[in-house]
A and B are shown apart, each in its own frame.
Chain A
Amino acid sequence: MNALAFDRVSVALGGVRVVDRLTYHVEEGEWVAMIGPNGAGKTTALRAIAGLVPYDGTIRVLEDDAATVARKHLARRVALVPQVPLMPGNITVRAYVLLGRTPHLGYFGNEGRTDHEAVDVALEQLDLTTFAERRLDTLSGGERQRATLARALAQDAPLLLLDEPTAALDMGRQQQVLEIVDRLRTSRGLTVLSTMHDLTLAGQYADRLLLLDHGRLVADGNADTVLTRALITEHYGAEVEVVPAPGSGFVVVPVRRQQ
């Protein structure tokens, strides 16, 4: 069954069509990474799913048409982790993660036992239990990223959207976060759609890659078929070599061709 299906989805921002008749689907339990140069429409496509930008066409999330279901209902299906989340510094990690329970509460409702338990589980799964009472502004970049992930987990949505989950993290933290996401995907049965800048990591972690350029889908497949020198050179305008890394897919490295 499809967790997510795009059917000729277009988004225009300021008169420019940044997502152009995009059609693809993501199966339940799959990890799909959207790659492509800056301005290809990756982030906008994610935002459209969460109902943050108006679009033409149809987006289906599980059995629902995302455009017609109530905002709160959609928020129980889709959790979005933005690239640069706005984090109020002066609240605790626990209070921040608890915000993820919002779609499960009534307008004036308060969290009950179930909600606090969901937060406990999310904190534990992201190894944040000892940080629970720390203020957000005392955390490092990697810890903050984990706090945001914990908030998304507490949301208890089957579809997890990650916008550049490894931006601004060092190499070790990048791997740590992606390993956590992969582990959670298995243990919680999540479907993951992420945008990724790092093509090597995208190839290593995602089941399938979608290459976008100028808002259009130009390649769809596993790392073998999408991470080719020809495609990357054409759409990124970059000089690269794609080197096989035994046991770990491919490494995409930029190269400088001497004249």
Chain B
Amino acid sequence: MIPSTRGRVSVLAALLFLAGALLAGVLVGPVDLGALDVVHATFAHVLGLRSPLSGADDAILWDLRLPRVILAALVGGTLAAAGASYQGVFRNPLADPYLLGAAAGAGLGATLVVAYAPSSSVTGDFLPLAAFAGAGVAVIFAYVLGRSAGVAAGPAALVLAGVTIASFLTALQTFVQQQHVDTVQEVYSWLLGRLATSGWRDVGIVLPYAVVAWVVILAHRRLLDVLAVGDEEAAALGVNVARVRLLVVVAATVATAAAVAVSGLIGFVGIIVPHTIRLIVGGSYRLLLPLSLIVGAGFLVFADVIARTIVAPAELPIGVVTAFFGAPFFAVVLRTSRRTL
């Protein structure tokens, strides 16, 4: 890490943003729990002490709000860090975690379950699994296809392979949906992203993948800077470019698949969070990756607060919130900074 005041200040600011988001996430809701009690009760649970909250309030905090907030943070951090990683290994500012077909594969997996195994208890267990498998299989296909197109073609071949696989799987998914029109609404509510049903079980699904992926991605932050000078120059600097790309893509993809499995497709986080950070602190991945992780986590927690309050007691799909509020915000950042991406 380059020791710089700017770096330290920005990490501190990002952590404050995340802390504020987490606090807002557990405090905002139909029942007022009180800020101090919430913090106190949370630590009490973690440390195995007695909670200061009443039984019902404690359940609201521990079984409803906290898992949802933690899940939002895990998913948001994963999507933003995965997006930044993809942009780095593909040297493409438009790359997002779904670039290699993860979204289309997960969508197909989820649609198949909703269409052919509609009984809800079964769906509840199978849907994340099918989405995860779909995302993984899609990316493996894309990677194999991209590699067979030749290493010399560079990252562009991989991106095109991803687009090809995604179009094909999306066509399949549309076909299945057409055959089962009655399931359209359920499929769409999943596709638009949701954290509504999340409990600790969902947190448990994502957590191991997210943590492993974060470690792998952060460990490669210096090498992603090297990749920014091009495959050839990175190779001339002694870097095994193909291996770095493979490791980072696998880590980012597995974590994205896990996130997609529990939360559906949440667009935009993987693009706007890293780019906003780039515009503020510059393009070095040493700072960009940790900041994307922290800010992405906070961003999605805030987005979820908006999703469940703005039309309460109903909920907006969180994917709609991220795009609806994210797009104008990013437009402002883009206009005020006037720097190259």
- Taking beta carbons and an 8 Å cutoff, which residues of A are in contact with B? 47, 50-52, 70-76, 78-80, 82, 85-92, 94-96, 98-100, 102-103, 105, 107-110, 135, 137, 155
Contact = CB atoms under 8 A, between A and B. Distances in A.
A85 B228 contact: no
B229 A75 contact: no
A88 B229 contact: yes
Interface string B261-302: 000000000000000001000111000000000000000000
A254 to B, nearest CB: 33
A127 B14 CA distance: 36
B229 A76 contact: no
User: Which of A51, A70, A92, A102 has the largest number of chain B CB atoms within 10 A?
Assistant: A102
A98 B235 CA distance: 16
B336 interface: no
Interface of B: 1-2, 219-220, 222-223, 225-226, 228-230, 232-240, 278, 282-284, 339-341
A105 B219 CA distance: 13
Contacts of A94: 2
A78 B238 CA distance: 10
B282 A90 contact: yes
24 contacts: A47-B232, A50-B236, A71-B240, A74-B238, A75-B238, A85-B229, A85-B233, A88-B228, A88-B229, A88-B283, A89-B283, A90-B339, A91-B225, A91-B283, A99-B225, A99-B226, A99-B229, A100-B237, A103-B237, A103-B238, A107-B223, A108-B220, A108-B222, A155-B237
Nearest to B88: A88
Given A74-B238, A95-B2, A86 B340 contact: no
A51 B235 contact: yes
B228 A75 contact: no
Contact of A95 (B223, B225, B240): B225
A110 B221 CA distance: 10
Contacts of B228: 86, 88, 91
Given A78-B236, A103-B237, 11 more contacts: A52-B235, A71-B238, A75-B238, A80-B236, A82-B232, A85-B229, A90-B340, A99-B226, A99-B229, A102-B226, A110-B222
A174 B1 CA distance: 35
B237 A76 contact: no
A85 B228 CA distance: 11
Cβ-closest 10 pairs across A and B: A75-B238, A90-B283, A72-B238, A86-B230, A103-B238, A88-B228, A102-B237, A80-B236, A50-B236, A89-B340
Contacts of B238: 70-76, 102-103
A74 B240 CA distance: 13
A62 to B, nearest CB: 16
A92 to B, nearest CB: 7
A47 B235 CA distance: 11
Contacts of A76: 238
Nearest to B341: A90
Nearest to B240: A71
A125 B220 CA distance: 30
Contacts of A155: 237
Residue among A47, A75, A109 with most chain B CB within 10 A: A75
Contacts of A91: 225, 228, 282-284
B225 A90 contact: no
A115 B278 CA distance: 25
B282 A92 contact: yes
- Identify which of A78, A88, A91, A137 gathers the most chain B CB atoms within 10 Å of its CB: A88
Contacts of A71: 235, 238-240
Contacts of B340: 89-90, 137
Contacts of B236: 50-52, 75, 78-80
